[in-house]
Amino acid sequence: MFLKRQMPVIIAISVGLFILFGHFINIAPVQQFVNNDATQWFDIIASFAIFLGALNMLKLQVLKVVKKQRNWQYSILAIVGFAFAIFAGFFFRGANYITLSDIDPNNVNQLVEYISTVQEVKDTALMVKGIESSLASYEIPKIFISKSSAEDFAILVSGLAKNVTLGVKPWGAHVQIEGSLFSWMFFKIFTPLSSTMFALLAFFVASASYRAFRIRNFEATLLLVAGIILMIGRVPIGEFIPWWVVSTLIVFGIGALIAPMIPDKKILFGLIVTGIVLSSVLGIIFDWSLAINTPGILSIPNISEWIFDYPTAAGSRAIMIGIALGIIATSFRIILGIERPF
Amino acid sequence: MNNKLLAISGIASIIILIYWGTFGLWFVTGNAPAFVGVIIVSSTIFYYIDAAKSGKEIYLRPISGLKAIEEAVGRATEMGKSVLFVPGISDMDQVDTVAGINILSHVAEITAKYETDLNVPTCRAIVMESAREACRESYLRAGRPDLYYDDMVHYISDDQFAYAAGVNGIMIREKPAACFYQGKFYAESLLLAETGNSIGAIQIAGTGSASQIPFFVTACDYTLIGEEFFAASAYLSNKPELIGSIKGQDIVKFMVMLLMTSVFVLDTVRQMGLFDFNILTFLGLS
């Protein structure tokens, strides 16, 4: 019971306090532990824990297939994908390469031609230069997944050099080198699938924005107006909106704000028209059409920048301060063992 | 001023004095404001925890997102559907994840009481183990250990979008009636919340990722913003020592506000040439 209940609490409290105060203590081994060892310990534990996760995932999917639970067909795909990744990572390197020794200088162009049949050559002249500078030993810049395809290509180029050697990239390197089975799986299956998920965000942002911008109350209207100004201010067209359009919009905005206070609509209309005329006259007198004379408030990019720099920054910093204090309080509760999520 | 407050202030002052006296010898240089900050914040929170333990009444304002947790689980129970809890995509080294697991234990207790299915897909194996432990304890506390099974908390993938795809698939297939997003989130926040919205689930989110809060506010029914998220477990537990820490946190926030105002006033006065003391240099900010 002690090992299960009290021991984790003791470890959490002592390590927590040690790491917290370790930041301030001027002893090299303590600093070493806080800055390097502790994080490495975590990485090691997390690396071992991945087995638990992988096994759990596999177990659930296999059970689903065996018991023929609802939508069990999808689980077959998950199991096959899992097995394929394990195979490509641990059991099959799929990273064969060919090295040519003592290449005949007269065959360089022919070699480039052969290479271009299996690998896209962007700059032929550069490749020719590269081969000419390493005639003694040249590794063909193409990784062959299967040994037989490498052998076929080796037979094709065997007449161009004295020696043709076949090799396989070492374990570990095969997961990073471009052209191997693992990298094929990563770039041709995993990356497009991830990108597809990420791309969905564009549609979700559109639907979320539609809901957020629906005018329901004063706050939603404010959000809509600020959002539109920010969007227009960040695109080139924002710079071309003339001052009189912005001044008219500002007058309309003020009119919308004071409208509930003025019951007589004729007076309201008169005030708005007066505002528009007044701002137009001022613009003509002070020549606001010249960019240098235009007040900042009549330029959409300026308003957009102001919204971003002041109200948005102030709001987000207030949230950040709250989050920071919340993190401190939660950490304090955990370090003192008052709150135990474990 | 009571004796406990005096004692805590005295101890904090002695620690700060020792720090000052042995600066550069026992303690690293350049961290003075952080050290003083840690001591002041810790002492304040400790004092309020102690005060709450000794029976002092502490008022917490109602947080609608937390009040809605039971309502959401109740809705799922009435509809005969499951509850989905997503603890974010970060590991246990992030306080957000720890706070998320704390909230999970409360949600699990309610699902145990209501005999509702709980589904917790995780992105990290360590989080899976912690979440299992939290759920097991909660089911035990609720007096329903028979309803608990390990696989209610399961692992999907360490990869951000693979995890998002997996969770979205669960949502689309199982159509849970309530979705909780409590933890650290990045770009997948909107993918999850919008999918949850499309299936008509009641959604309650909470995160310390400031950049994801707008997405959750837009797509979820309730969002715990900033410190509300970190205060949630204390609020839900109703334990005096945890509630005391929330009060301490608020007092620290008030101190921060005072400090910001003082810095603003003192720096303005200095810039006007009326004063020769640079508060920013003193605090190590310039």
How does pLDDT run across A46-104, given as a tens digit for each residue? 888 888 999 999 999 999 999 999 889 999 999 999 999 999 999 999 999 999 998 88
Nearest residue, CB atoms, A323 vs list B42, B155, B208 = B208
How far away is chain B from the Cα of A115, in angstroms, using its nearest Cα?
A: 36
CA atoms within 13 A on the CB side of A59: 11
Q: Assess contact for B105 and B134: CB atoms under 8 A.
A: yes
Considering only CA atoms, which of A280, A62, A323, A138 is closest in space to residue B229? Answer: A323
Query: Nearest-CA residue of chain B relative to A199?
Result: B191
- Indicate yes or no: CB of A208 within 8 angstroms of CB of B218: yes
Q: Please report which helix (H) or strand (E) contains residue A100, including its range.
A: strand A96-103
Task: Select from B94, B102, B251, B80 the least CA-distant residue to B174.
Answer: B80
pLDDT tens profile B142-191:
999 999 999 999 999 999 999 999 999 999 999 999 999 999 999 999 99
Range of A29-38, A75-84, A213-222 with top mean pLDDT: A75-84
The two tokens of residue A146 are 């299967």
Most A-contacting residue of B39, B46, B95, B120 (CB-CB within 10 A), to test interface: B95
* Cross-chain residue pair B161–A198, CB shorter than 8 Å: yes
Whether the per-residue pLDDT at A17 is higher than 90: the answer is: no
Residue that is written with structure tokens 């004092």 in the block: B47
Q: Cα–chain-centroid distance for residue A161?
A: 46
Cβ contact, residue pair B249, A205, below 8 Å: no
Q: Show residues of chain B in contact with A194, CB under 8 Å.
A: 159-162
Distance from CA of A134 to the nearest CA of B (A): 42
What does pTM read for this prediction?
0.86
* CA dist., res. A322 & res. A334, Å (int): 18
Q: Which of B158, B241, B252 sits opposite A338 (nearest CB)?
A: B241
Contacts for B126 with CB less than 8 Å, ≥ 6 apart: A45, A46, A49, B91, B92
**Could you read off the pLDDT of A163-214 as tens digits, one per residue?**
999 999 999 999 989 899 999 999 999 999 999 999 999 999 998 888 888 7
Contact B125 A53 (CB under 8 A): yes
List the 300-319 stretch of A: residues with Cβ below 8 A of B: 316, 319
Shortest CA distance from A44: residue in chain B: B126
Q: DSSP 3-state assignment of A138?
A: strand
pLDDT tens track of chain B, all 286 residues? 578 888 888 888 888 888 888 777 788 877 888 888 889 988 999 899 889 888 888 888 888 999 999 999 999 999 999 999 999 999 988 999 999 999 999 999 999 999 999 999 999 999 999 999 999 999 999 999 999 999 999 999 999 999 999 999 999 999 999 999 999 999 999 999 999 999 999 999 999 999 999 999 999 999 999 889 999 988 888 888 889 989 998 999 999 999 999 999 999 999 998 888 888 888 777 7
A111, A159, B92, B97, B105 from B139: Cα distances, Å: 70, 74, 22, 20, 9
Nearest CB neighbour to B230, from listed A54, A56, A326: A326
CB of A111 closer than 8 Å to CB of A131: yes
Contact A112, A131 (CB under 8 A): yes
Position A342 scores a pLDDT of: 61
**Nearest Cα residue in chain B from A60:** B151
Q: Which residue of A has its CA nearest to B43?
A: A332
Q: Which residue has the tokens 């909107």?
A: B190
ipTM of the prediction? 0.88
Contact status, residue B234 vs residue B245, Cβ threshold 8 Å: yes
The closest CB to that of B230, out of A31, A207, A329, belongs to: A329
Give A287 to chain B, closest Cα distance, Å.
36
The predicted structure's pLDDT at residue A62: 96
Residue of B nearest to A196 (CA): B161
Per-residue pLDDT tens digits for A236-288: 998 899 999 999 999 999 998 899 999 899 999 999 999 999 999 999 998 88
Interchain pair A193, B219: CB under 8 A: no
pLDDT band at A223 (very low <50, low <70, confident <90, very high): confident
- In the block, tokens 């997996």 appear at B166
Instruction: Report yes or no: A47 at the B interface, CB cutoff 8 Å.
Output: no
- Which one of B15, B23, B28 makes the best mutation probe of the A interface by having the most chain A beta carbons within 10 Å? B28
Q: Give the chain B residue nearest A54 (alpha carbons).
A: B155
A286-323 confidence digits (pLDDT tens): 888 887 888 888 999 999 999 999 999 999 999 999 99
Q: For A341, which of B31, B102, B252 is closest by C-beta distance? A: B102
Q: Which of A53, A209, A321 sits opposite B128 (nearest CB)?
A: A53
